[in-house]
Amino acid sequence: MTTEAAAIPGLKARRASFRPWEGNTLPVLVIVLAIVGLWYAAALAMNWRGTADAFERAGEARSAPEIALATMGQERPMLPAPHQIVFELKKTVIDTPTTSRRSLVYHAWVTLSSTLVGFGLGTALGIVLAVLVVHVKTLERSLMPWVISSQTIPILAIAPIIIVVLGSIGVTGLLPKSIISAYLCFFPITIGMVKGLNSPDPMQRDLMRTYSASQAQTLWRLRLPASLPYLFAGLKVAVAISLVGAIVGELPTGAQAGLGARLLAGSYYGQTIQIWAALFGAAILASLLVATVGLVERLVNRSMGARTA
Amino acid sequence: MVVPMRASTEPAPRAVAGAPVVDIKGLSLTYEAADGPVYALSNVDLQIAEGEFVSFIGPSGCGKTTLLRVVADLEQPSGGHIRVNGVSPNEARLRRDYGFIFQAPALYPWRTIRRNVELPLEIFGISKAERRERSARQLELVNLKGFENKFPWQLSGGMQQRASIARALSFDPKLLLMDEPFGALDEIVRDHLNEQLLRLWDKTGKTVLFVTHSIPEAVFLSTKIVVMSPRPGRIIDIIDASSLGRMRDLDIRETPEFLQIAHRVREGLRAGHSYDD
Amino acid sequence: MTAARRASVLTPLVLAGCLYVLMLVHRPGVAGAPGPLFWGLVVALWLASIVALSGLSNLRLKSRPADRLASLAVPILFGAFLFFLWEVIVVGAGVPSVLMPAPSAIARRFAASMPVLRDDFIQTFVKSVLTGYAMGCGAGFVVAILADRVPFLRRGLLPLGNFVSALPVIGIAPIMVMWFGFDWPSKAAVVVVMTFFPMLVNTVAGLTAAGRIERDLMQSYAAGYWTTLLKLRLPVALPFIFNALKINSTLALIGAIVAEFFGTPTVGMGFRISIEVARMSLDMVWAEIALAAIAGSAFYGAVALIERGATFWHPSYRT
């Protein structure tokens, strides 16, 4: 979810010896092309048997090149060829009106809305909790160990319960999914924020003490600004798992709408192209969300005078 | 918390005439470590008069920084008597009697130089117009005019430390506490800053408590040198250096008088076993 | 000192009070319909526990082991009190078990369903998680070394790896079920994909972590690539690698459980959760979640323990 390198942000001048994006366009492009090539080869190999069998059942004799060509255009292939996914995406995103239930945009919006609500709730909860933990020693010593150790538990397993229990008391739709998202994403934010709020070095804190600054003044002028890099590192993780939470939250009820529902329906009916399209839709959504958080981070950093690395 | 705010025009409450700015008697500070108690300060007596420049010198562990932090109410003594401007360190801190300058500039990286200098003024609730006026004046005093809108990382180490001095001066405290402020800088920059600091001290008439581990620096700057020694942290010798005059230039360091005082400092350090292993 | 005295007096009192209330709440006359006096007692215990806990957490003990013990006791007592509240409120207010079963009911169910839980554990954890985890982490490590050897590969793979790490990889579960069948291999396949990228990204980052001076030192000894790798760069990379191993221990369990939502033979933790939720027998679901929590934290703990032994020199472990 996060790498060590990304988890230790610093406004302070840390010389970046690790710059993955610098001049990487060409290698990335080459590797992506290689993956696409491998994909076609795999599609050919994996769909061959099914395609050949289908022709055989129909009593048609085909030559190998004809079968090979046909592996790329199966309706329910083992592995759809990349262009099939692209066409499916085009069909369900551009050619279908967004209000239609056949539109991927419609389903993506369903998932996105619960993701965003959950992300907002989780962020607010996470920040408030972190501020409390930093100021109330009892909370730090009693609650924080639980927050940290709950990271090691597969919390997502709890999703079906939340959906069903809330459903049985009449709460359905967007809210239960958002609660799962919020629940998943507040942990990394709290942990990151607590670290961030405690990040000012002793000298910076002593300085506030020599000014006999109040706790609130220290919070606003020192702790919060110092914690922002940690907050953004947490937000990037949180927004990604918030989306995962919303998708998984759509599974147990066999939900009628959303990317998770598309995955589930696709797997029921063997609609592999639909599954892959939904998967790519989710991937695009996730990268847009993370990129948005990254953009906000850049803007905030710039206004706070961070060195442009 | 009710903090008596000093109006900006009113002069700072001075110590009663003749009474020392810092008055320490029988001060001790002991803390518990894993392998028994550590005597950071033991039976320290010291009086500092207004307008003095006092250096504290000694090897690490001699308690010079601890003593400064006790004066600043950043550490609590375990015994003895201490008065700062006639009140307890805590009261002195609450009425913002002193400015503290740390080993590192401790500038906030997300604030421009100007807003760093204005930080204490913001906390004291001083109006924006006056903050601007005062920060401009202080930055000019430390020769940082024109760098107001830069961020700390865009300045050299020496310039950053000058900005932190401007920050300490911004609310015009009568007392400056400096904890090895130039320790991390190279010697050429340090010489330059020492001269500037002397000029500043002479112009403003502040009382300065200055912790250092450099003998030439201590002798060059001070009217009084306090030589300290570790295990337990204590005062070995207090040397008067006011005979060198108030304003000095770097050449003074080659005069016999300077070398004599430096020699006495070294003797004090040797007597305190500071050169032993 | 007063805080310490308050804590030392209050803590046993609160514990005794909690035990008394626990006995009280399960009496036939009380369960489901306790009087206001009962709730008053619970609230009083709650307030007293806050005072006791804050006293305990502000305690400064002279001896190291005692201080360790106190700082361990605070979260344990806090957690125990939350379970106590859960039990008392659910039993006391008579919350129907289809909404929220009491911890005691969950524990009873857990104890009664040992054989089922054992089978689920073997299916999900031993077969899917451990196999997938070993393969995914192993593959990530090997590819990372490969990428380190071929800079072009590294520069291409690293951004992609970072990108994929942020994606909802879990969504490939239905595809894997289609490819590898309903049984555990499909779950293991999901786990392989989920654990591969964090391992790749962290190992590559770790391999660049060795400092310039240390590398120059190796160069001055005319050490070759593999010597430098073994003697310097791998040890330096260990904290990064263990970071990935820890992240992956959680991811693997999540992956295996969620993948089972998409179809399994009639055994497995994810299968049990989805089927029992549909039957509204929530005590079994919670028992299964308790099992997942125990398995997850034990797995993580084991990795963390190995890390401690392997990277004892790292600043974060020095005292």
Chain C positions in Cβ-Cβ contact with residue A149 (cut-off 8 Å): 297
| Min distance A200 CA to chain B CA atoms (Å) | 9
Confidence class for position C230, pLDDT limits 50, 70, 90 = confident
Candidates B1, B74, B110; nearest CB to A225: B110
A189-220 pLDDT, tens digit each: 998 999 999 999 888 999 999 898 889 999 99
Mean pLDDT over B119-134 rounds to: 89
What's the pLDDT score for residue B276? 67
Q: Mean pLDDT in chain C?
A: 85
| Min distance B187 CA to chain A CA atoms (Å) | 23
Q: Which residue has the higher pLDDT, A14 or C100?
A: C100
How far apart CA B6 and CA B126 sit, in angstroms, is: 10
What's the pLDDT score for residue C182? 86
Contact A212 B108 (CB under 8 A): no
Note whether B151 contacts A: Cβ–Cβ < 8 A.
yes
Same domain, yes or no: C274 and C161: yes
Confidence class for position A13, pLDDT limits 50, 70, 90 = very low
How far apart CA C265 and CA A73 sit, in angstroms, is: 32
Mean pLDDT over C30-56 rounds to: 79
Same domain, yes or no: C271 and C134: yes
Same domain, yes or no: C143 and C277: yes
Mean pLDDT over C121-149 rounds to: 93
The CATH number covering residue C151 comes to 1.10.3720.10
What's the pLDDT score for residue A309? 47
C99-113 pLDDT, tens digit each: 888 898 899 999 999
Residue B15 has pLDDT above 70, yes or no: no
Same domain, yes or no: C146 and C200: yes
What percent of chain C is modeled with pLDDT above 70? 95
C103 within domain boundaries:
no
Of A228-232, A273-277, B117-121, B269-273, least confident by mean pLDDT is: B269-273
Same domain, yes or no: C33 and C143: no
| Residue spans in chain B of domains classed CATH 3.40.50.300 | 22-97+173-271
What's the pLDDT score for residue C13? 82
Confidence class for position A3, pLDDT limits 50, 70, 90 = very low
Q: Which residue has the higher pLDDT, B10 or B54?
A: B54
Domain that holds residue C60: 2-94
ipTM of the complex: 0.81
From first CA to last CA, the distance across chain B in angstroms is: 48
Residue B242: CB atoms within 10 Å: 11
| Min distance A293 CA to chain B CA atoms (Å) | 19
What are the C-alpha distances in Å from A115 to residues A99, A235, A286, C135?
19, 13, 10, 32
Chain C positions in Cβ-Cβ contact with residue A246 (cut-off 8 Å): none
Chains with ≥3 Cβ pairs under 8 A against B?
A
C33 within domain boundaries:
yes
Chain A positions in Cβ-Cβ contact with residue B103 (cut-off 8 Å): 203
Chain B positions in Cβ-Cβ contact with residue A208 (cut-off 8 Å): 123
What's the pLDDT score for residue C133? 96
Mean pLDDT over C109-128 rounds to: 92
How far apart CA B225 and CA B240 sit, in angstroms, is: 6
| Min distance B225 CA to chain A CA atoms (Å) | 25
The last residue of one of the domains, among C48, C69, C94, is C94
What's the pLDDT score for residue C279? 85
- Does the pTM surpass 0.90? The reply is no
- Report the SS3 class of residue C206: helix
Q: Which residue has the higher pLDDT, C46 or C122?
A: C122
Contact C168 A31 (CB under 8 A): no
Residue B257 has pLDDT above 60, yes or no: yes
What's the pLDDT score for residue B208? 93
What CATH number matches the domain at B22-97+173-271, 3.40.50.150, 3.40.640.10, 3.40.50.300, 3.65.10.10?
3.40.50.300
Of A185-194, B27-36, B82-91, least confident by mean pLDDT is: B27-36
A277-301 pLDDT, tens digit each: 889 999 999 999 999 999 999 999 8
What's the pLDDT score for residue A307? 64
Contact B119 A11 (CB under 8 A): no
How far apart CA B37 and CA B39 sit, in angstroms, is: 6
Return residues 207-246 of C near A (CB < 8 Å).
Answer: 208, 239-240, 243-244
What's the pLDDT score for residue B7? 40
Same domain, yes or no: C216 and C178: yes
Contact A153 C270 (CB under 8 A): no
Note whether C249 contacts A: Cβ–Cβ < 8 A.
yes
How far apart CA A137 and CA A126 sit, in angstroms, is: 17
Q: From B170, which residue of chain A is nearest by alpha-carbon distance?
A: A211
The count of domains in chain C is 2
Residue C148 has pLDDT above 70, yes or no: yes
Q: Which of A199-208, B247-256, C150-159 has the highest mean pLDDT?
A: A199-208
B66-75 pLDDT, tens digit each: 999 999 998 8
Mean pLDDT over B76-104 rounds to: 89
C100 within domain boundaries:
no
Chains with ≥3 Cβ pairs under 8 A against A?
B, C
C89 within domain boundaries:
yes
Contact A211 B104 (CB under 8 A): no
Same domain, yes or no: C170 and C240: yes
What's the pLDDT score for residue C218? 79
Confidence class for position A267, pLDDT limits 50, 70, 90 = confident
What's the pLDDT score for residue B37? 85
Chains with ≥3 Cβ pairs under 8 A against C?
A
Contact A306 B98 (CB under 8 A): no
Return residues 107-136 of B near A (CB < 8 Å).
Answer: 108-112, 119-120, 122-124
Residue A5 has pLDDT above 60, yes or no: no
Which numeric CATH code is attached to A80-303? 1.10.3720.10
Note whether C250 contacts A: Cβ–Cβ < 8 A.
yes
Same domain, yes or no: C205 and C149: yes
Q: Which of A45-49, A251-255, C69-73, C302-306 has the highest mean pLDDT?
A: C302-306
